[in-house]
Structure 1
Amino acid sequence: MAGIKYEIVETIGVVSESNKGWKKELNLVSWNEREPKYDLRDWSPDHEKMGKGITLSKEELFELRELLSSL
């Protein structure tokens, strides 16, 4: 993405993979040299392209975990 700097600080895991090799991943990502946040989105195999996703703070991630565990 033009004008957006990112660094995948840590790969947490892969949720799924498409038949074209794109993976939906949960990563810890620093966007524009800011504090890293948890990020869930599709990534191309080389991590040069990305799909739309969501970015969560640690607190939001824990709250999401609580909501999912209640299902």
Structure 2
Amino acid sequence: MPRFYFDLSRLDELLPDDQGVCVDTIDEAIFHARTVIDEMRDTGEIDLIGKGWCLSIRTEVDVVLASISID
């Protein structure tokens, strides 16, 4: 099962994911990412971190497969 990593970035800031999540497909990884973003919205975390953030989904060899704007 592949491992996907979810990095947060904004301009020159990067918060890399060093643990990742094992899921079967990129579609499952995107679903997981959107679920986490929705939870961050519900708890108010998105308002606290500010605007302009992007969540990138990458492989173990640092290939970015998808990016989701958090705004």
Measured against the shorter chain, the TM-score band is: under 0.3
- Of the two, which has the highest radius of gyration? 1
Larger RCO (alpha carbons 8 Å, 6+ apart): 2
Higher strand proportion, which one?
A: 1
TM-score (norm 2): 0.26
TM-score (norm 1): 0.26
